[in-house]
Amino acid sequence: MKRVTQEDIAKKLNITRTTVARALNNNGYVEAGLKERILLTAEEMGYKTNLIARSLAKKGVWNIYCFLVSYNDDYARELESGLRSVESEFQHYGFKLHVIKNNPNEPELQVRKLESVLSSEQIDGLIISPMMNKEINELIESRAVKTLRIGSLNVELENERSLFHVGNDLEESGVLAADLLSKLMSNKGRIVVFNAFNQFKALYLRYHGFMNEISKNKDIEIVETVYLESIQDSYKAAKEILKRYDDLDGMYTNTEIIYLSRALKESNRKSVQLIGNDLNDEIKGLIRDGYISMALHSRPYFQGYLAGKYMFRILLNNIYPSRKTTNVGFDIVTSVNLQVEDTFRILTSD
């Protein structure tokens, strides 16, 4: 098979070989959109081996540290799976992924772990779901070298050095949940809202969006708001709520839906409409059995994949996303589309 040359790429794109060389060697100015087309075409035509050799010769190993929040094990696992897919896809370029998971009950521990990494490890890229934005920002300003490339995932890092953010519009997810629950209840009835981890920004935004939207409907009464100190408390709290209210029409939680749905199943209360977030095999079964009305799936695998891909392209070729924030959207999961998360695995494996 004939070796692909820079001249071949130039002919295909109808540009000069010099422009191709500038883009491939990251030497000299090339307009961002054109540079991206050149690099993609080079890979498609089989110039990939040349890029790999240059990457390894230039750097050897690229160390990317990813700080994830595992308030939901399934969600964190899917985020990491997307990141690992990128690591596997570009393993020959010398990219090494280090994933550090943090318990949402211990935000200070995330700060200490990041401080340790910035102080003692060789780090080229940082992808983080920050729990304490102010403290994380102070660390970055005081400890991070200027060459460090930074992006955020799921929860936005409010720092001017952050080059990208991949996630959902978290407040929009609360608004969407309120709209769906209202429609399921024919825009009237009595509901209970479960609010967990008010100090964790992602959950606060979901709750804020839900409350703002549901309050617009004067025929829906919030009979009680339950404040949870931990996610696991929602099961016990839901059992008590179901005993207290025989005429309840709906429930919403800004955190894991699984605990509330277990309480509904044990109480055999299919008449109570339940809306929440996340998706796993048990949740699918409870949707199928009618104990969860709908679940909002925030596409964690795709989030992780995009964040990893953005970081790879920035480190290797200084190609930045066309927009700083990428909102991957949501899937509304019902009994008819339970395999929806497989779509993104198929798309990113092509």
Q: How many CB atoms lie within 10 A of CB 209?
A: 21
The position carrying tokens 């959109």 is 33
Percent of the chain with pLDDT strictly greater than 90: 55
The pLDDT of 45-70, averaged and rounded, is 70
Say whether pLDDT at 329 is over 70. yes
Strand ranges, E, within 257-347: 273-277, 294-297, 325-327, 331-333
The pLDDT of 297-307, averaged and rounded, is 94
CATH topology of domain 170-297: Rossmann fold (3.40.50)
C-alpha count within 13 angstroms, C-beta hemisphere, residue 199: 10
Say whether pLDDT at 53 is over 80. no
pLDDT at 56: 47
Confidence of residue 59 (pLDDT cuts 50, 70, 90): low
Asked if 260 contacts 251 with a C-beta cutoff of 8 angstroms, the reply is yes
CA distance to 1, 16, 20, 94, 249, per residue, from 47 (Å): 12, 17, 12, 17, 60
Rounded Cα distance between 303 and 66, Å, is 13
CA distance to 88, 218, 224, per residue, from 248 (Å): 49, 16, 11
Asked if 314 contacts 163 with a C-beta cutoff of 8 angstroms, the reply is yes
Which residue, among 268, 198, 258, 188, has the nearest Cα to 226 in the 3D structure? Answer: 198
Asked if 83 contacts 52 with a C-beta cutoff of 8 angstroms, the reply is no
The CATH number for 6-56, chosen from 1.10.3210, 3.40.50, 2.60.120, 1.10.260, is 1.10.260
Rounded Cα distance between 269 and 263, Å, is 9
Asked if 219 contacts 188 with a C-beta cutoff of 8 angstroms, the reply is yes
Pairwise pLDDT comparison (58 vs 253), residue with the higher score: 253
| Residues contacting 117, CB < 8 A, separation 6+ | 65, 100, 123
How far separated are the first and last CA of the chain, in Å rounded?
23
Asked if 299 contacts 331 with a C-beta cutoff of 8 angstroms, the reply is yes
Percent of the chain with pLDDT strictly greater than 70: 91
Which residue, among 4, 12, 10, has the nearest Cα to 23 in the 3D structure? Answer: 10
pLDDT in tens, 116-141: 999 877 899 999 999 888 999 999 98
The position carrying tokens 């995330």 is 110
Rounded Cα distance between 339 and 331, Å, is 11
The values of phi and psi at residue 74, to 5°, are -65, -40
pLDDT at 57: 47
Say whether pLDDT at 311 is over 90. yes
Classify strands 273-277 and 95-102 as parallel, antiparallel or unpaired: unpaired
What length is written for the chain?
350
CATH topology of domain 59-167+300-328: Rossmann fold (3.40.50)
For CATH 1.10.260, the residue range(s) in the chain are 6-56
Which residue, among 158, 204, 202, 176, has the nearest Cα to 324 in the 3D structure? Answer: 158
Rounded Cα distance between 237 and 253, Å, is 12
* Residues 75-100: b if buried by 16+ CB within 10 A, e if exposed: bbbbbbebbbbbbebbeebbbebebe
| Residues contacting 8, CB < 8 A, separation 6+ | 45
pLDDT at 146: 86
For CATH 3.40.50.2300, the residue range(s) in the chain are 59-167+300-328, 170-297
Asked if 164 contacts 322 with a C-beta cutoff of 8 angstroms, the reply is no
